[in-house]
Amino acid sequence: MIDLADLLRRRFGHAAFRPHQEEVCRAVAAGQDALLVMPTGSGKSLCYQLPGLARGGTTLVVSPLIALMEDQTAKLVAMGVKAERVHSGRSREQSRAACRAYLDGELDFLTISPERLGVPGFPEMLARRPPVLVAVDEAHCISHWGHDFRPEYRLLGARLPSLRPAPVLALTATATVRVQDDILEQLGVKGARRFICGFRRDNLSIEAVECARTSRAEDALALLAPAERRPAVVYVPTRRLADEVAELFSAHHETAPYHAGLPAAARSRAQEAFLAGSVEVVVATIAFGMGIDKANIRTVVHLALPQTLEGYYQEIGRAGRDGLPSCAVLLYSFGDRKVHESFLDRDYPDIGVLEQIAQAVPTDGIGREALIAASPVDAEVAEVAVSKLWTHGGVTVDADDRVHRGHDGWRASYRAIRRHREGQLDEVFDFARAHGCRMVHLVRHFGETENTAPCTNCDVCRPRGSIGHRFRPPTPAEAAVAAQILEELRRYDGVSTGTLYRNLFPNNEVERRELERVLEALRRAQALVLVDDSFEKDGKTVRFRRAHLNRKAGGALDAGLLFEGEPGRPTTRGRRPRSRRRERGGAEGGDERRSAVKRGFAVEDQAIDLKAVDRLRAWRLAVARAKGVPAFRIMSDRTLYEIVAATPTSLAALGQVYGAGPKLVERYGAAILAELQAR
């Protein structure tokens, strides 16, 4: 066995391993299959690069992000390592040269996109000279339960046997225990060693503050007023809000917005200025963060509930990478959950809609666009439904974009994934309302079982040290309710909070919400303990809380009651979320411009170049056939019509079109512009 510590110094210039790296590297170098779940910035890449060099031969790396592939390859080459990559952004000649170098044994590393495994002859080419290690980066993409599932990753399970006996290392920064199990099952390496580590961040103080949506931008501005709380990232749910909040902040700090609706050059300028220190605050959607390696970010603020705890952890993990004290503050309200529920209904239509469309597919098949046009539901909903049916096997779509009937087993898997997405919303909301240490809550979510003592740093462990909460003493009425609760718990300890409310206030003399606020104040005062519990009903998990007297404190108000908000008024001031136009495209969809769309995707009030539509459709179909995937996997119908309606003449302009995200522009932008300009 090569001396890994010596190789680390000679080839990578590092004097020592970071925490947890050495154990992983030794296991993989010895030929063991492994799963590594470690936060972004912890040094996961070294855990395949070092063992790959130690084992000799070529390491095959599967990665879904072209920008990341390019960055990693460039860094390896700069170190004197022989590395190449094959993806859709490279020319045919470049890809062929990389494959020849691989077959000739000239490469230490070959990085490929998962789609390449579906190209006829490519897996066979790899098998002619099996690699010494297979690294699957962003491995959560293989799991239906992952936050960024990609069907192309499912090809890996069938291709890996021909690349054996090379060990397999799956790497990801975000995988719950359920996702971890699925990754190993899909890769066919159930016996792989699991390394789940590095999630605890003792220098990061986490807070969640319930407040009105209308006041959040001002609250965030106040939070970031002290210079020691900057540089900072403020995450917002929409592009429009990113622009509005950035404008508000600009009057006080050097601030830049960042979202996918901005030209690529503007995004690059914002990122570079932030890294250089000339911009102190970035107000961004979830588009911001990949590849950001700024060690001294002091604060991360969220102005709405995130979509998943996995995504939230990644975003707050960008604070305090230098090891110095940092803070993450989540500003939220119950209305945020309602917004996410509307996103869920949009992205996962009712199963009845899918059944209706599946039943409309004739035995000899039908063109996908014809099926959508004939559907009685909205064209956008029908398009999503067809996509979900294809993902779960309810239909198949051939190379000519023709839909055929699939199998009947699709319903169970579709119901399961929708329940899973609903459960993710529950997890986020439960975290925001947590009554236990927030850091422990997060590390347990990812399956880390070591070092789960309370952090003593979050707003639950140390409420008086919070920077986001505004506490006050109780009113006489609130103090009276607190006394009633303690007296009831002395008689019936461990009762559910719902039963406690019904016992104390059978005629709703006090609102349920007010009781919850008093319970939280009693918990802060260490007079009682709130414990999560659940039961199963109709196939769903129903969560609730039990209240127990704190035996250590004897049920007394040791620390005094701390209440949030103004006396007699809920923290959120009872306001409903502002009415908003229907949003599409996830949490970053935004309230930005939406052109009206009729059935069949005919855009109103705009002159559509039907010849350009036909050219773009033909191009999309040709690309889909070459890749062996349905046409809608290349680009949705809605996006196609939006592009033609906008008639962009540059990549920057294309990137501002609704639906044309950075990945589409990166992979196909030049070809799309060429089709638009053809006559």
User: What does the pLDDT read at residue 198?
Assistant: 82
CA-CA distance, 63 to 73, in Å (whole number)?
11
Tell me the one-letter amino acid at 247.
E
One-character DSSP codes across 441-485: HHHHHTT--SS-S--S-STTT-GGG-SS--EEPPPHHHHHHHHHH
358: how many CB neighbours lie within 10 A of its CB?
Answer: 20
Instruction: Give the per-residue pLDDT at 126.
Output: 95
DSSP designation for 581: P
Give the residue carrying structure tokens 């309602």. Answer: 338
Q: How far apart are CA 38 and CA 18, in angstroms?
A: 12
Q: What whole-number distance in Å separates Cα of residue 138 and Cα of residue 310?
A: 13
Question: In 3D, which of 545, 561, 518 has the Cα closest to residue 434?
Answer: 545
Other CB atoms within a 10 A radius of the CB of residue 33 amount to 20
Cα-trace Rg, the chain:
27
Non-local (6+) Cβ contacts of 522 within 8 A are 482, 485, 486, 528, 557, 561
Intra-chain end-to-end CA distance of the chain, in Å:
63
Strands 540-549 and 528-537: antiparallel
291 in helix, strand or coil? Answer: coil
* Separation between Cα atoms, residue 51 and residue 26, nearest integer Å: 7
Q: What is the pLDDT of residue 289?
A: 65
Residue 524: φ, ψ to 5°: -60, -35
> What is the per-residue pLDDT for 4?
93
Q: What is the pLDDT of residue 56?
A: 93
At 655 the pLDDT is 76
Closest to 473 in 3D by CA, of 382, 362, 566: 566
Task: Spell out the domains of the chain, with CATH numbers in brackets.
Answer: 4-196 (3.40.50.300), 204-332+435-458 (3.40.50.300), 340-421 (1.10.10), 471-564 (1.10.10.10), 595-677 (1.10.150.80)
Structure tokens at 248: 């508000």
- Enumerate long-range contacts of 266-275, CB under 8 Å, 24 or more apart: 274/231
Calculate the CA dihedral of residues 198, 317, 463, 333 and round it to 10 degrees.
-130
Instruction: For residue 23, give both structure tokens.
Output: 């154990």
Decide the pairing of beta strands 59-62 and 109-112. Answer: parallel
Regions of the chain with pLDDT less than 50: 569-606
The pLDDT score that the predictor gives to residue 582 is: 34
- Say what the pTM is: 0.74
